[in-house]
Amino acid sequence: MSRYGTTGRIAIVFAPTVADLAAPTVAEVAAGVNLSDHVTRDGLKTPSSGNTIDAADIGSRFNKTAPGTYGGDAAEITAHRDSKAAVDLAWTTLPQDASGFLIVARAGFDQQTATGLGTKDGVAKAGDRCEVYAVTVISRAMNDTGDNETSKFTASLAITAEPAQDAVVAAAP
């Protein structure tokens, strides 16, 4: 088993289109905006809670449950602002109501056969593992100010379709 850390490696791309969430193409990933250098270290949240159904019966004292619905939680991206508007990439990429696809390669892109690891700046290639979320920005708000803190904002993202958490990048169709 080869465990790995995501800091300095994770690639976070906001892409305008992805035809198949389970198999984003190399071109679709390349057409997106790489936000990796703008998101704070603890700034990516992709929750997916689950609900249970009461399945208890009178014949047992144990309160049995069954699986119910899941998902419905908003994703969040917390990112740094830049003092120059021309390079304030995360802010300009994630305005309210923007729709697109959040592609997350926790092991980076250009994953090597020997290690399974790539880099945050790697060029996606066929076979790279990733997650794909269809999203719409619900809100984008500046974070509270703080002593010895950069200027940051948080974008809240509605996940508008079932995500592909085991997606694999495909070659061009």
pLDDT in tens, 107-164: 999 999 999 999 999 999 999 999 999 999 999 999 999 899 999 999 999 999 999 9
Give 103: exposed, middle or buried? Use CB within 10 Å, 0-12, 13-18, 19+: buried
> Would you say residue 1 has pLDDT above 70?
no
- DSSP code, position 84: S
Helix (H, G, I), strand (E, B) or coil at 86: helix
DSSP classification of residue 119: B
Place of tokens 């990112």: 79
Token output for 40: 């704070």
Q: How far apart are the first and last CA of the chain?
A: 33
Interatomic CA distance for residues 112 and 71, integer angstroms? 32
pLDDT in tens, 35-77: 999 999 999 999 989 999 999 999 999 999 999 999 989 999 9
β-strand partners of 55 = none
- State the pTM of this model: 0.93
| pLDDT value for 3 | 86
Q: What is the pLDDT of residue 172?
A: 76
